[in-house]
Structure 1
Amino acid sequence: MNKNLQQLYSIAEKPKKLILGLMSGTSLDGLDMALCRIEGTGLQSSIELLKFYTYPYSSPQKHRLKEVVSQEDVSLQDVTILHAWLAELHARFVLETLEQWGIDPTEIDLLASHGQTVYHAPQRLHNLLTLPNATLQLGDGDHLAVKTGILTISDFRQKHMATGLEGAPLAPYADYMLFSKRGINRILLNIGGIANFTYLPASLAPQEVFATDTGPGNCLIDWAMQHFFSPQTYDRGGSIAQQGTVNKLLLDALKSHLFFTENLPKTTGAELFNKKYIAQVQKQLPDINIPPEDWVTTLTRFTAETIAEAILRIPDIPQAEVIVSGGGYHNVCLMGWLEELLPHCVFVDMESLSSIVPDAKEAVLMAVLANECVAGEGYALGEAPALTMGKVSFA
């Protein structure tokens, strides 16, 4: 047998695997790294988070990524070069972090890399009805594998799209395994740059599971902070949002986009919710003068209301537990509004249910998907066919 295939077979046969999940999200804070020990597959999986660290991007690195991420007009040469550059950067982050942890790369069975979404283009956004859903992530798996010496699984979203789905959210495949509980409806809410949730029914019926984006999470709040309060890049703890007042005219204009009336599930991204979106809203309110604090407060309320309204559209939902992850989890103002807007829900701390800290959840998801890719049989959720996702890159 080919030695690479032999290695893959040996890893797949292991009862327990050490997998390093990598996630770089739309906020471009840095590379999240979650070291997981995973035993079993599917609903029999047992996942233990051993270590977690976010390796921050430097200002020049952030700037380089912002020049291409979610931009309609970019240099094709820049995108091509960044595909290799980002993988090599992530490889350096991985090796340096493993050294800090005192772990040799040979101890890691798999790297599970999401990469950096450069452009997410479901048909609902590109509106080219003869063309398919599409997405593109930077950070080539072969470069990662060669530079780290670790077998790498990457490019998870393409299989989802190849089946006619929108490539997002991917969270339900791990959420269903990790957090389903018979007799309890659960909503796994992730508030990153974009907000999304997975609904897990109390029945455990896989066909009733679904996941959807709800709209902006932190992305427009971050825009306001960078625009009005530079060099601050985000509203730490929601402190600025707590100082301002919600502007009702601005809030109504922000919520007027047709995206918010579309049926669930649906996906979106920073390709829609960005400074151009703000400029379009401002055209609707040419004579209004809004103080900087009120911008942040209103955008925070916008995130809270669009999340809550999406959750309330779940058919016949009774009381449910809501488990929150992502950067928005730390925004006290946002979380307070969510609890106010969802009085039928009980908010439960993720760490009380598992070893997973909220900030690590997306990177843990990558590790779970990689484990399923090499050892799982695939399973169907909602309207999706049975899937395993990811492409294999040998070192």
Structure 2
Amino acid sequence: MNPSIKKLAQIAEKETRTVIGLMSGTSLDGLDIALCEVEGSGPETKVSLLKFVTKPYHKNDREKLRKVTSVDQVSLRDLCYVHTWLGQLHADMIVEALFEWGIKPEKVDCIGSHGQTIYHLPNRDLNGEETPLNSTFQVGDGDHIAVNTGILTISDFRQKHTAFGGEGAPMAPLVDEWLFTDKKEHRILLNIGGIANYTFMPAADVKDLKKFSTDTGPGNTLMDAVMKSRFDKPFDKGGKIAASGNVIKPLLIKMLEDDWFKSEDEKSTGPEYFNLKWIKEKEELAGFSGSDISDKDMVATVTELTARTIAQNIQHHIPENLPVMIYPSGGGAHNRFLMDRISHYLDEADVCEFSELGFSADVKEAVIFAVLANETVTGSGFNIHTKYGSEQNIHFGKISFPV
């Protein structure tokens, strides 16, 4: 037997596994590294967070990634290089973190790597131009992570989801149900990364409500893009600039009229759709040019768009007057002004600290990929509706051995 296969089988048979989960989002701020102890599999999965760190990308790293991320045209030379370079960079960051924690790589059973999404293309965005397919593309090669850390690595999780007819996003709801369902409490796990999404998880003791998850539209992506282009800052810290501006209502109305927001289905999107070009198109429809709207008013307007679209989607899909607890995570959870605007629209819901569920909001996405990797190694998989009209248990990710 291939000794790597034999070792994989031994890892699968362990009662608990030490798993590293990796997450790098569309903000391109750095790599989240979560060292977890994972017990069991499936709905019985239990996770203990052992260590967590975010290794920031340097300015040059971010520029390399921006050249190939969410752009319609890219140099194949740059793309080829970045795929390998990022795998090696992530490996270096993992080795550095383990050294800082005093943990030897051989003590880690496996790594679950999300990689860096550089393009997300659901079928609805093809406009009938091509054969209908959902597609998504992540870089940061798993083999390079495995070889340079010496740790079994599972990566490229989203491809199996699209192969069975899904959109490859959001992935978190697959794990949310296992880790965070409560017997009595109706919960919304709201993640505000570059794109905002949520999972509604009804109380387990209530049988007539169903789980629902979807992207709601822009999270931080438009706010960050405006901050970068107009203030040369990566984000609006605490929402202070948005709070100092005024919402331009005619522009907000044109934004809200976009067809993307009208679909009631579970869906996904990315900065390929919601970007500065999209804002400019809405400005023109509203009769403005870029110079007509002040910098702070534009930040205020796109912040209000994020708050309004999150709230409206939740209000549409969650039964009226149902007592719901909202647990926000992602970078947007730190934007106090944004969270206040969301609470304004969802005044009947209670917004709670994510830490009440066991660990901080910042670590959640990395933990998700640790659990996805654990399930691939030892579990029965995730039950999903496939494009063939059936339900099937699916395992996600590609396995890379260190040798």
Q: Shorter chain as normaliser: what TM range?
A: over 0.9
Aligned alpha-carbon RMSD (Å): 1.6
Asked if structure 2 preserves the Cα contact closer than 8 Å seen for 1:45 and 1:177, the reply is yes
One-letter amino acid of the counterpart of residue 235, structure 2: Y
The corresponding residue for 1:3 is 3
Determine the structure 2 residue equivalent to 1:47: 47
Amino acid at match of 2:93: F
SS, match of residue 367 in structure 2? helix
Partner amino acid, structure 1, of 2:394: L
Q: CA deviation at 1:335?
A: 0.5
User: Aligned letter for 1:387?
Assistant: I
Using the TM superposition, name which of 374-383 and 303-312 deviates more: 374-383
1:286 shift after superposition: 3.9
In 2: Cα distance, 1:378 partner to 1:333 partner: 39
CA distances 1:81-102 after superposition (whole Å, capped 9, x unpaired): 2111110111111111111111
Structure 2: where are the runs of 5+ without partners?
Answer: none
Deviation at 1:177, TM superposition (A): 0.9
Q: In the superposition, relative to structure 1, how do residues 287 and 238 fare at CA in structure 2: closer, same or farther (>3 Å)?
A: closer
Q: CA separation of 1:388/1:342 partners in 2, compared to 1, >3 Å: closer, same or farther? A: same
1:387: which partner in 2? 394
Unaligned runs of 5+ in 1: none
Partner SS state of residue 227, structure 2: helix
- 2:123 aligned residue: 123
Residue deviations 1:219-239 (CA, integer Å, cap 9, x gap): 110111112211x21011111
Any idea what the Cα deviations from partners look like across 1:194-232, whole Å, max 9, x if unmatched?
0011111224769922321000000110111112211x2
Give the structure 2 partner of residue 296 of structure 1: 299
- CA shift at 1:315, angstroms? 5.0
> AA paired with 1:84?
T
**Deviations 1:331-365, CA, capped at 9 Å, x for gaps:** 010100111111221112111121x2101111110
- 358-367 vs 195-204, greater mean Cα deviation: 195-204
Which residue is equivalent to 1:228? 230
Q: Which residue of 2 aligns with 1:347?
A: 351
8 Å contact from structure 1 (residues 206, 382) kept in 2 = no
- Cross-structure match for 1:142: 143
Q: TM-score, normalised by structure 1?
A: 0.96
Aligned counterpart, 2:190: 189
Q: What amino acid does structure 1 have at the position aligned with 2:248?
A: N
Tell me by how many angstroms 1:287 deviates: 4.0
Q: Distance in 2 between matches of 1:117 and 1:46?
A: 28
When normalised by structure 2's length, the TM-score is 0.94
Tell me the residue number matched to 2:32.
32
1:241 equivalent to 2:242? Answer: yes
Q: How far is the alpha carbon of 1:386 from its aligned partner? A: 2.2
Q: 1:206 to 1:80 in 2, by over 3 A?
A: farther
Change over 3 Å in CA distance of 1:339–1:304 after alignment to 2: same
Q: CA deviation at 1:385?
A: 3.3
CA contact (8 A) 1:208 1:382 kept: no
* Distance in 2 between residues matched to 1:100 and 1:279, nearest whole Å: 46
- The aligned counterpart of 2:102 is 102
| 1:11-30 → structure 2 map (5 Å cutoff) | 11-30=11-30
| 8 A contact 1:223–1:275 mirrored in 2 | yes
Deviation at 1:264, TM superposition (A): 2.3
- Any conservation in 1 of the 2:91–2:145 contact (CA below 8 Å)? yes
Residue 382 of structure 1 and its aligned partner are, at CA, apart by 6.8
Q: Secondary structure at the match of 1:241?
A: helix
Task: Give 1:254's aligned residue.
Answer: 255
Provide the residue aligned with 2:165 in structure 1. Answer: 164
Would the aligned equivalents of 1:21 and 1:35 in 2 still touch at CA under 8 Å? yes
Q: In the alignment, does 2:92 pair up with 1:79?
A: no
Q: Match of 1:324?
A: 328
Cα displacement string for residues 285-322 of structure 1 (whole angstroms, at most 9, x for unaligned residues): 34462211111111111100000011112153512111
State the shift of 1:127 in Å: 2.7
Task: Provide the rounded CA distance (Å) in 1 between the counterparts of 2:265 and 2:210.
Answer: 13
- Measured at CA, do residues 312 and 220 of structure 1 come closer, stay the same or move farther in structure 2, by a change above 3 Å? same
Which SS does the other structure have where 1:240 is aligned?
helix
Residue 310 of structure 2, aligned match among 307, 311, 317: 307
% identical equivalent positions: 46
* 2:170/2:214 contact within 8 Å kept: yes
The runs of at least 4 consecutive aligned structure 1 residues that moved more than 4 Å come to 204-207, 381-384
Letter in 2 for 1:332: R
Query: How far off its partner does 1:106 sit?
Result: 1.0
What is the CA–CA distance in structure 1 between the aligned matches of 2:82 and 2:212, rounded to whole Å?
A: 33
Q: Structure 2 CA distance, aligned partners of 1:299 and 1:136?
A: 27
